[in-house]
């Protein structure tokens, strides 16, 4: 993941999800909590262009099944890193964010990063111009994250299929809100052709 090898994809200034109004700034670290935080991470990964790194404890990253991921993006874009403990996860995330050779870095943690830890990650994201997403399994702490999302799955329906409620609880840019979104398959094709669907908005309310 050397910086000189990252020139074949177009780096995005920000990640915008279609017509939902949801924007995640590149070169920043974001946080996702809730029972569907991992689904949020997969959708974010699908909308990025370029290599991806997913970091967590060994047992966590081994559950990432390529057959499930290919409904969203080509799993060959993904490098996984299984770590033994929190310290290793933070170190690996910082190195991946800083290297400049990846579009996005996803790190799964039990407790979210504290202020000192998140500042280090934020500086690394700025240096590498990568988007960082921390998937928090238990509870968030006071941190330097740009945004924090509460993500919950909603019952599947015949009209919109799988859908989620994404609540933006923290946003350094000011705006918060809640979005009810779903994933809509829009074509059939090979996984390497790009995402096999897109995010669509079912309902939204801004705070």
Measured in whole angstroms, how far is the alpha carbon of residue 22 from the centre of its chain? 13
Is residue 1 predicted with pLDDT exceeding 60? no
Taking only the tens place, the pLDDT of each residue in 82-91 is: 999 999 999 9
Report the chain's mean pLDDT, rounded to a whole number.
83
Taking only the tens place, the pLDDT of each residue in 145-179 is: 999 999 999 887 666 567 899 999 999 987 888 98
Lay out the sheet containing 29-33: strands in order across: 78-83, 52-57, 104-111, 131-139, 29-33, 147-157, 161-171, 177-185, 197-206
Query: What length does the chain have?
Result: 207
The domain segmentation of the chain, as residue ranges, is 12-206
Residue 80 host element (H or E): strand 78-83
Q: Cβ of 123: how many Cβ atoms within 10 Å?
A: 15
Taking only the tens place, the pLDDT of each residue in 59-113 is: 889 888 888 888 888 999 999 999 999 999 999 999 999 999 999 999 999 999 9
Higher pLDDT, 2 or 131: 131
Q: What is the pLDDT of residue 4?
A: 41
Provide the whole-model pTM.
0.84
Q: What is the pLDDT of residue 197?
A: 64
Cβ(197)–Cβ(72) below 8 Å: yes
Q: In this structure, which topology does domain 12-206 adopt according to CATH?
A: Rossmann fold (3.40.50)
């Amino acid at each position: 993941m050397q910086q000189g090898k990252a020139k074949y994809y177009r780096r995005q200034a920000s990640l915008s999800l279609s017509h939902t109004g949801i924007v995640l700034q590149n070169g920043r670290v974001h946080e996702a909590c809730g029972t569907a935080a991992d689904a949020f991470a997969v959708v974010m990964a699908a909308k990025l262009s370029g290599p991806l790194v997913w970091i967590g404890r060994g047992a966590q990253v081994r559950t990432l099944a390529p057959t499930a991921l290919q409904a969203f993006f080509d799993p060959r874009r993904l490098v996984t890193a299984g770590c033994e403990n929190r310290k290793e996860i933070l170190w690996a995330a910082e190195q991946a964010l800083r290297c400049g050779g990846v579009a996005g870095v996803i790190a799964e943690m039990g407790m979210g990063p504290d202020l000192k830890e998140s500042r280090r990650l934020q500086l690394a994201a700025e240096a590498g111009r990568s988007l960082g997403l921390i998937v928090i399994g238990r509870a968030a702490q006071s941190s330097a994250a740009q945004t924090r999302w509460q993500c919950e799955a909603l019952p599947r329906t015949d009209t919109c299929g799988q859908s989620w409620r994404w609540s933006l609880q923290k946003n350094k840019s000011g705006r918060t809100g809640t979005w009810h979104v779903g994933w809509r398959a829009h074509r059939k094709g090979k996984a390497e052709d790009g995402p096999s669907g897109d995010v669509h908005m079912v309902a939204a309310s801004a705070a």
